[in-house]
Structure 1
Amino acid sequence: MNRELVSRIAHADHPIKAPLDDASVHRLLERGLPRGNERVLDLGCGGGEWLLRALAMHPQLHAEGVDISEGDLARARQAATGLGVQQRLVLHHQETESFSSPHPFDLVLSVGATHAFGGLLPTLAAARRHLAPGGHVLIGEGFWDREPSPEAVEMLGDFADLATTVDRVVADGWTPVHGHVSTRGELDAYEWACWGSLASWALDHPADPDSAQALGTAATRRSEWLRVYRDTWGFVCLVLRQTST
């Protein structure tokens, strides 16, 4: 069972691929889109959920997304048509590192996708290349809320604590103008939704060749969350402006 299929099924009931509820997503977009007529770019847009919500919020906004998953982009196009915003959305099927545009963007976002760039600061460097003067960046990144176990670090990555994460962003030439730390409720709801959706799919499709693997993956991931990183891992979203260029 390939990773893309697992992700699609796991996020069926939580299309925002990060531990954020709908109200938090709305507030973050409001902070990053003060005018409502901005041009927005999502680096690693997946199914375009952030862009679709931004377009639905602001009828004068235009958006572009970049992703390597043709399936996700096809679903984004279909959803945009259903919302009637397809004329204001452009999607690019390519690596984010190779994407270039003739115009800059007022908001560049990348939430939960910093691994695709090799970490937080490389993601910010990519965002900076596309950012218009005075624009905003919306980025989401994990952090350690308390000292993790070696097993947790091996599983999720070598994150810093929250204060150090923000310090690194500031030292890189950015000023946070808004932020949101995911609550325990958001973190738990995300994990329950992901592994519950995958398990439900497996139970609903017992004859599918991938059913047993999907059920086993859901059980393994749920156990890892509860036993290894639930009490140590957190997630922060930052709305940033450039302090220096």
Structure 2
Amino acid sequence: MKREEISTLAHAHHPISSPLGDESVRRLLERGVPAGEGEARLLDLGCGGGEWLLRALTAHPGARAEGVDLSESALAAARVAAEELGVRDRLVLHRHDATSFTAPHAFDLVLSVGAAHAFGGLLPTLDAARRHLAPGGRVLVGDGYWADEPSPEAVEMLGDFTDLAGTVDRVVADGWLPVYGHASTRHELDDYEWSWTGSLTEWALDHPDHPDRDQALAAAATHRDEWLRVYRDAFGFVCLVLRPADG
């Protein structure tokens, strides 16, 4: 079973692939999508199944969006969902490496939530977003931070984050100013992990004769053990709505 197949099954009950509840997602999009008349253009770098864009297009009838991802199965699912929601004509999806994607126009909101690993970290993600940003535009980015002192094993597993204040300091030093933000709550963090491991486990139990059943159970058990024993008490997740400090 490929990694993207495991991810699709694991997110069956939590289509936002980050530890965020529906209300948090709504507020972040409300602060990120430009208000006023006209057609807002949105770009999601590492869009997966397109859930952020689908919600934005549903809430903002004048918006148009583009998503970039390497997973054809995730993009296919996004197309089906967009058709069902009646927003397919306002959504363009690209199967492309988000780190090297180029577009013929700039965007009012560039999103990249939970995909910083693909760019090599938070600041390289912001560098990529800046290349696509229209004057006066905003970036919505989400990444991990250490809410408590991590173990060496947790750092090796998840990355060399800093604390929340240090994360914001890095962003500001890189030429950005936060205009809104949200640090995931303990409930959001736990709900995401229980959903991830539970959805994968349920799929395996519901498909006892599937050749990938044991692999799915093993993946869920490994993930659950790493979460509970290695990083649960230290890991945090923050989303920031940013504008360039130079305007």
Q: Same fold (TM over 0.5)?
A: yes
- What TM-score results when the alignment is normalised by the length of structure 1? 0.98
Residues 25-64 of structure 1: pairs in structure 2 closer than 5 A: 25-35=25-35, 37-64=39-66
| Aligned partner of 1:98 among 100, 104, 127 | 100
Q: CA deviation at 1:9?
A: 0.3
User: What SS does structure 2 have at the residue aligned with 1:99?
Assistant: coil
User: What SS does structure 1 have at the residue aligned with 2:166?
Assistant: helix
- 1:131 maps to 133
- 1:233 maps to 235
Pairwise CA RMSD? 0.9
**Counterpart amino acid of residue 237 in structure 2:** F
User: What SS does structure 2 have at the residue aligned with 1:13?
Assistant: coil
Residues 93-242 of structure 1: pairs in structure 2 closer than 5 A: 93-242=95-244
User: What SS does structure 1 have at the residue aligned with 2:177?
Assistant: strand
- What TM-score results when the alignment is normalised by the length of structure 2? 0.97
Q: CA deviation at 1:35?
A: 1.5
Unaligned runs of 5+ in 1: none
Unaligned runs of 5+ in 2: none
**Counterpart amino acid of residue 215 in structure 1:** L
| Aligned partner of 1:70 among 62, 69, 72 | 72
User: Mean alpha-carbon deviation: is it higher for 185-194 or for 90-99?
Assistant: 90-99
Q: CA deviation at 1:216?
A: 1.3
Question: What is the percent sequence identity of the aligned residues?
Answer: 71
User: What SS does structure 2 have at the residue aligned with 1:8?
Assistant: helix
- How many residues in Structure 1 have an aligned counterpart in Structure 2? 245
Alpha-carbon distance in structure 1 between the residues aligned to 2:34 and 2:205:
45
Q: CA deviation at 1:34?
A: 3.2
Runs of 4+ with deviation above 4 angstroms: none
User: What SS does structure 2 have at the residue aligned with 1:123?
Assistant: helix
Q: CA deviation at 1:244?
A: 2.8
Please say if residues 147 and 164 of structure 2, whose CA atoms lie closer than 8 Å, have aligned partners that are also in contact. Answer: yes
Q: CA deviation at 1:98?
A: 2.2
